[in-house]
Structure 1
Amino acid sequence: FNVTEDADLGLRLARAGFEVRTFASQTFEEAPAVFGALVKQRTRWFKGWMQTFIVHCRRPMRLFVDLGSRRAIAVLAMFASGLLGPLLGPFLAARMAYDAIFGALLAPVAPLEIALSTLWCCLAIAGAISLILPIAMGMRRRGLTRFRRALIYLPLWLMMLSIAAWRAVYELWRRPFHWEKTEHGLTIRGVVEAEKDVDPFVSREEPLFDQEAGA
């Protein structure tokens, strides 16, 4: 059983000739509030994408016939970038850091070194822009620019995605059909628990004046 049934169903509908579209709306679904729940959710998503990729690529020529060359290539590129990025990202970043410190990345001499250095730097800059720009645009449209400082935590987010992706590889091998259900309502539950500790008959308003000073 695919643990991301929406991805599998959407691709099956597309292969059957239907169009799948999204509504221009917003969601009020609560995101995981703790790190463990977030990793489990992303692990399930990555594992489901891997399952979808494996199932639909068992007969690749049939995939191209059903979707057409352009859409089939787009699907393969989407899966490749969505899966290989988190899996290989830490290794590529480590190699780039090593070349910048000990190699010729920042001071190339030979023509081949210059070409590779230019390629690496362009890919790094383009990757950073493609990651930050959509988030910044979304924050601006939603009036959330006051949280722009949170963008400095994006490297930690990418590290979490890598952990979840490699965890998904392990789970695909050991327990491919295990469903780690995302627990929701943690934030609301926390508010409710906090409200329980408050005496409803005691005012929570701060006094305007110090009673001792006013006495």
Structure 2
Amino acid sequence: MAAWLGAAGPAHAENTSRVPSTSPESLVGRPHTIAELEAGIIALPNAPISRRQEGGETPFGTIGKGDATVLVGMHLLYRASPAFAFGAGFLLGPQPTSDTQYGGQTGLKRSHARSYLLVGGELRYIPFRSKTLEAWFGLTVGGVIIADRFSTDTGEKVPAILGVPAVTVRTEGYTVGVEVGGSWVFADRWVAGIIARTDRWKLPDSPQCTSIGDCGTLTGTVESIQFGLTIGYRIPL
């Protein structure tokens, strides 16, 4: 009996040591997925939506002389190794800056707003890693859609079935950029962080216009700067 117990003891200890750990440290050491939400600010330093509306609209007031607005989005990243992660995501401006004194070429009392949607992929390199902190930098590439919305604020109200007094001009292009950030593992699998990004947008040289002279307000090369806070959840595979 003693011999049997002696043989069974080590086998039991060996099986217990093979139970996989779910601690943050163990996840970094093996491939896993990160679902990450972002909220922040996007600024176009050299591209106000109009001469009257410089600095944009953010919870912190105006920023610079270009456009600036709130930015939200989501990233889905695959952490292939402790040093590298790649994935894709999207960013959009849910509350675009609005110019309520826009007149266009018609002289009508009108308003103009401009919103942004960015979709693309990213690659991150994480050179600094500790038990709870990480620092990284990366590259981004993707597409951008700018929507200029023009709305006439005068005239009689009519049923929506007869049309709406607004038109949207879309401008599409591609974007490349660089980003840096840091992460803090504050709970099992939960990660908070900061991120800063600068992009260069390549858009058509000539804007699209409507029949009454409303045109897209961004052309050629446009610089953008983004800053955000992130919250992420690590999903073991």
TM-score range, shorter chain: under 0.3
More helix by share: 1
TM-score calculated relative to the size of structure 2:
0.17
More strand by share: 2
TM-score calculated relative to the size of structure 1:
0.18
